[in-house]
Amino acid sequence: MEATPEAFMEPFARRAKEIVGDRAKVFMVGRVLDLATAERLLDDGAADMIALTRQQIADPFTVKKTREGRTHEINKCAGINFCVERLVDNREVTCAINPSAGREAAWGEGSLQPVGAAAKRILVVGAGPAGMRMAGIAASRGHRVTLVDREHEAGGNWNTLRKLPSRKGWAIAIDNLVRLCANNGVDVQLGVEATPEWIQAQAADAVVVATGAHWEKTGESPARPDREHIPGIDSLCVLDAGTAVKRALANASALGQRVLIVDDGAGYVPFGLAELLADAGVAVEVISPQLLLGEELLKSLDMPHVFPRLVAKGVKLTPQTFVDSIDGTTVTYGFIWGGPRRTANFDTVVIAMHKAPNADLYFALKGKVKELYRIGDCVAPRKAAAVGYEGEKLGREI
């Protein structure tokens, strides 16, 4: 299921053409990602002109590359709407998967500098978005790059995201990076656990650590500055969001029949998990101490798709509410502003609040390899656009 499938405006464009006939020309927008689709829509008479907006932010050379038979090099728009989030925040538009967008003066066409005889042997640990972008860009400049990951598929965290309801766009984002690496001859080795000893034995000229982050479950929140964790957080029924999502993707009933999701991040994950569980008949409540649940979904225009689905599936959405304590499977919680408390039993309480960097490998290697770099969530957990930017920057500078 996709919130906005490719060319989703086609029926509306056709209807507009029926109504206006020859009295006006009809332009169509809406997730047209390639020129072959645009041509089909024109040939079929669906519209008189097709506009590609976000696709040209994701890759301003879409038309040029198509004309030159280089469609395998096109960076496809993943529909993540980070560009729209930036608009909403009144900031310069950039793209979650094209770090050059909005930075054309510095990183525009022709700005990649070939390294020639200064080529290095670079080992990148972590085939998430940060490591893959760094590897692909560095290799395009002439470095010899090996990229390793312990998982058997590349993509890092995006591989989890793409499996959640209506998040198929992340698969497009991964495919872009897989092609970036393949097109530039990166040696990608999957299923490889990189230990400090193994890395030192590779004797690369430079090592780039891009090992990502993990969810924490202390329950520490600015909503309760008086305490460092939720009392009872060590109860067996409490899971961090990363573990909960992985278990639920393997078996949507694995978290039991009653689940409370405690969100303090405002992103999509708690709601994706809620939908996954609700689809399996699980009773789910999402609470957050924030004034508005899922504020990021409002900015990315996901809220009008996601929230009605959740409500229709019986998910309870409760903002301005936080946990007082957990005792076994009994949770006491209530309005952040005071008033009566509620007590209820849950099979699982999911904490979707903070992430912490996986930085141990980086610190274990400090001073032990010739050149060492750290990029992506293992510096500080952030959004996709930030880690892609860091990968691109190092790939251009090394």
Ligand X SMILES: Cc1cc2nc3c(=O)[nH]c(=O)nc-3n(C[C@H](O)[C@H](O)[C@H](O)COP(=O)(O)OP(=O)(O)OC[C@H]3O[C@@H](n4cnc5c(N)ncnc54)[C@H](O)[C@@H]3O)c2cc1C
Ligand Y SMILES: Cc1cc2nc3c(=O)[nH]c(=O)nc-3n(C[C@H](O)[C@H](O)[C@H](O)COP(=O)(O)O)c2cc1C
Residues making contact with ligand SF4 (CB under 6 A): 54, 57-58, 77-83, 95-98
Tell me how far, at minimum, the Cβ of 80 lies from ligand SF4, in Å. Answer: 4
Binding to ligand X by residue 382, rule CB under 6 A?
yes
Q: Which does 58 bind (CB under 5 to 8 A by kind): ligand Y, ligand SF4, ligand X, none?
A: ligand SF4
Smallest separation (angstroms) from ligand X to the CB of 188: 12
Does residue 29 bind ligand Y (CB under 6 A)? yes
Task: Give the footprint of ligand X on residues 196-235 (CB under 6 A).
Answer: 210-212
Binding residue (CB under 6 A) for ligand X from 99, 156, 219, 395:
156
Q: How far is the CB of 200 from ligand SF4 (least distance, A)?
A: 38
Q: Does 357 bind ligand X (CB under 6 A)?
A: no
Among residues 10, 13, 46, 54, the one that binds ligand Y under rule CB under 6 A: 54
Cβ closest to ligand X, residue 306 vs residue 361: 361
Binding test (CB under 6 A) with ligand X, winner from 52, 95, 148, 394: 148
CA-based end-to-end distance of the chain? 41
Site string for ligand X, 258-297 (x = CB under 6 A): ---------xxx----------------------------
Give the span between the Cα atoms of 39 and 45, in whole angstroms.
10
Q: Which stretch binds ligand Y (CB under 6 A): 14-22, 25-33, 174-182, 314-322?
A: 25-33
Instruction: Choose between 46 and 123: whose C-beta lies nearer to ligand X.
Output: 123
**Starting at the edge strand that comes first in sequence, how are the strands of the sheet with 348-352 ordered?**
238-240, 348-352, 258-263, 283-287, 316-318
Q: Which one of the spans 123-131, 311-319, 324-332, 364-372 is the region binding ligand X (CB under 6 A)?
A: 123-131
Question: Cα–Cα distance between 252 and 276 in angstroms, integer?
Answer: 7
- HEC string for the chain: CCCCCCCCCHHHHHHHHHHHHHHCCCEECCCCCCHHHHHHHHHCCCCCEECCCHHHHHCCCHHHHHHCCCHHHCCCCCCCCHHHHHHHCCCCCCCCCCCCCCCHHHHCCCCCCCCHHHCCEEEEECCCHHHHHHHHHHHHCCCEEEEEECCCCCCCCHHHHCCCCCCCHHHHHHHHHHHHHHHCCCEEEECCCCCHHHHHHHCCCEEEECCCEEECCCCCCCCCCCCCCCCCCCCCCEEEHHHHHHHHHHCCCCCCCEEEEEECCCCCHHHHHHHHHHHCCCEEEEECCCCCCCHHHHHCCCHHHHHHHHHHCCCEEECCEEEEEEECCEEEEEECCCCCCEEEECCEEEEECCEEECCHHHHHHCCCCCCEEECHHHCCCCCHHHHHHHHHHHHHHC
For residues 60 and 319, which CB has a smaller minimum distance to ligand Y in the complex? 60
Name which of 98 and 358 has its Cβ closer to ligand X: 358
Nearer to ligand Y, 85 or 275 (CB): 85
Q: Rule CB under 6 A: is residue 52 a binding residue for ligand Y?
A: yes
Contact residue for ligand X among 30, 79, 99, 126 (CB under 6 A): 126
Which residue, 100 or 321, is less far from ligand SF4 as judged by CB?
100
| Residue (112 or 301) nearer to ligand Y, CB | 301
Q: Which residue number, 32 or 361, has a Cβ lying nearer to ligand X?
A: 361
Beta strands in the chain (DSSP E): 27-28, 49-50, 121-125, 144-149, 187-190, 206-209, 213-215, 238-240, 258-263, 283-287, 316-318, 321-327, 330-335, 342-345, 348-352, 355-357, 372-374
Instruction: Considering the complex, state which of residue 31 and residue 309 has its C-beta at the smaller distance from ligand Y.
Output: 31
Instruction: Check residue 313 for interaction with ligand X (CB under 6 A).
Output: no
31 binds ligand Y (CB under 6 A): yes
Is 49 an interacting residue with respect to ligand Y (CB under 6 A)? no
The whole-angstrom separation of Cα 245 and Cα 227 is 27
Q: Min. distance of Cβ 374 from ligand X in angstroms? A: 10
* Closer residue to ligand Y (CB): 92 or 371: 92
**Footprint of ligand Y on residues 69-108 (CB under 6 A)?**
83-84, 87, 93
Q: Which does 29 bind (CB under 5 to 8 A by kind): ligand X, ligand SF4, ligand Y, none?
A: ligand Y
Residues lying near ligand Y in the complex (CB under 6 A) are found at 29-32, 52-55, 83-84, 87, 93
